[in-house]
Amino acid sequence: MSKQPIRTIKVDVLARVEGEGALYVKLKGDQVQEVKLKIYEPPRFFEAFLRGRHFSEVPDIVARICGICPIAYQMSAVHAMEDAFGVKVGGQLRALRRLIYCGEWIESHTLHVYMLHAPDFLGYQDAIQMARDHPGVVQRGLQLKKAGNAIVTLLGGREIHPINVRVGGFYKLPERRELAALAERLKWARDAALDTVRWVAKLPFPDFERDYVFVALRHPNEYPFNEGRLVSNRGLDIPISEYDANFTEEHVQHSNALHSALKQHGAYLVGPLARYSLNSDRLSPLAREAAREAGLASVCRNPFQSIIVRSVEIVYACDEALRIIEHYEPPEKPTVDIHPRAATGYGCTEAPRGILYHRYRLDDGGTILDAQIVPPTSQNQKTIEQDLGQFVPKFMNLPEAELRWQCEQAVRNYDPCISCATHFLRLEIERA
């Protein structure tokens, strides 16, 4: 055997991702020997200090895991707590939760589409550089993002770490006229989102597909936000309370975020690609039509095309927000009554980046005894590494700098939120 040269691709600081990560790929000849998505973001031990806190404090505390998707953390937390206490929040309160989630999807997805992902396809270092050549496009992105933030601000008080979400509902309800004013902006946003789909559909996509194991929520008649069963394209179909029985987490040396796996299938993918591929029949007619026009089939296996799927989801979120506003009648009270009891509760909602699972065990006074939180980016880590393992050999002949950039882009396909991933490290490895 002749000696084959060892080559490495290293990215010491991954840019345009939330949080701190690095990338390491080791090649021998044309074989990939090792791929590591290194997560060196320091751990913050949230699950540790949630113990002993009162359930009513949890939505405010868990929001601080992520400045980009605080609503997702608040929603998974309130659903888990309500599950523990045997309370169902329905009607207009449920609709308002869906509305605020729409705002977060619009804000978070637009940030990624325009500011973090699109510059890769067009060869810019960032959106500000891109704005010099495409000022109208970047302005549209900023205003679309602002429309999403306007929903979160109206319902939540502010866009980052909103203050109005509580177990049982909200502290204060919006008035009809406030939502009506928002609707005018959202009509513009929906058109801007349709333009976004048309724009991203024309970007150059590498020819790369994988037969992923997709995992997402599925609801009987809605595109999933807050509720549903956990399903996969390999036959998984479980209530969220069976998450722990079907998924595992492991601690690897190169990451401060635990790696998740499906017990039966290993690596899996969560987020827009999975959500869309398992639920495209639940999109609104307008969003479905936008997807069709953009050339998306009902299943999308090219991770680079996640930018199209995100854009379709922005259309859906604008459309859904407008539908909710149109049917809004202020409920009598902003919250349903909560009576704590000793129990374990489960919550799983669709964060912009994929399923976010929470489990809390509480005592009869409503104090947290232990908590488990599994964010989407920890669940995608293995899949990201596998993508790179298959991607690099196909594009090995590219010049070094270009290959490195393509690898970064392959990571950014997932909109990884490293801050989230690290902040959730499981406290208990073993339970007696």
Note the residues at the interface with other proteins (CB under 8 A).
13-20, 41-49, 53-54, 57, 60-61, 64-68, 70, 111, 115-116, 119, 125-129, 131, 138-139, 142-143, 145-146, 149, 157-161, 163-164, 166, 171-172, 250-251, 253, 256, 334, 405, 408, 417, 419, 423, 425-429
DSSP one-letter string for 25-39 = EEEETTEEEEEEEEE
Q: Which of residues 61 and 238 has its CB atom nearest to other proteins in the complex? A: 61
State in angstroms the smallest separation of the CB of 374 from other proteins.
14
Q: Which of residues 13 and 369 has its CB atom nearest to other proteins in the complex? A: 13
**The pair of three-digit structure tokens given for residue 339, joined into one six-digit string:** 């009576």
State in angstroms the smallest separation of the CB of 44 from other proteins.
4
Q: How far apart are CA 142 and CA 150, in angstroms?
A: 12
Q: How far apart are CA 302 and CA 210, in angstroms?
A: 7
Q: CA separation (Å) from 303 to 37, 223, 352, 361? A: 17, 20, 15, 36
Q: Which of residues 120 and 320 has its CB atom nearest to other proteins in the complex? A: 120
Residue 95, number of CB atoms within 10 A of its CB: 17
State in angstroms the smallest separation of the CB of 150 from other proteins.
10
Q: Which of residues 10 and 172 has its CB atom nearest to other proteins in the complex? A: 172
Q: Which of residues 14 and 267 has its CB atom nearest to other proteins in the complex? A: 14
State in angstroms the smallest separation of the CB of 68 from other proteins.
6
Are the C-beta atoms of residues 308 and 294 closer than 8 Å to each other?
yes
State in angstroms the smallest separation of the CB of 171 from other proteins.
4
Are the C-beta atoms of residues 19 and 418 closer than 8 Å to each other?
yes
**The pair of three-digit structure tokens given for residue 272, joined into one six-digit string:** 């827009």
Q: How far apart are CA 164 and CA 99, in angstroms?
A: 13
Q: Which of residues 121 and 219 has its CB atom nearest to other proteins in the complex? A: 121
State in angstroms the smallest separation of the CB of 173 from other proteins.
10
Are the C-beta atoms of residues 115 and 128 closer than 8 Å to each other?
no
Q: Which of residues 51 and 94 has its CB atom nearest to other proteins in the complex? A: 51
**Exposure string for 367-394, b = 16+ CB within 10 A, e = fewer:** ebebbbbbbbbbbbbbbbbbbbeebbee
State in angstroms the smallest separation of the CB of 161 from other proteins.
6
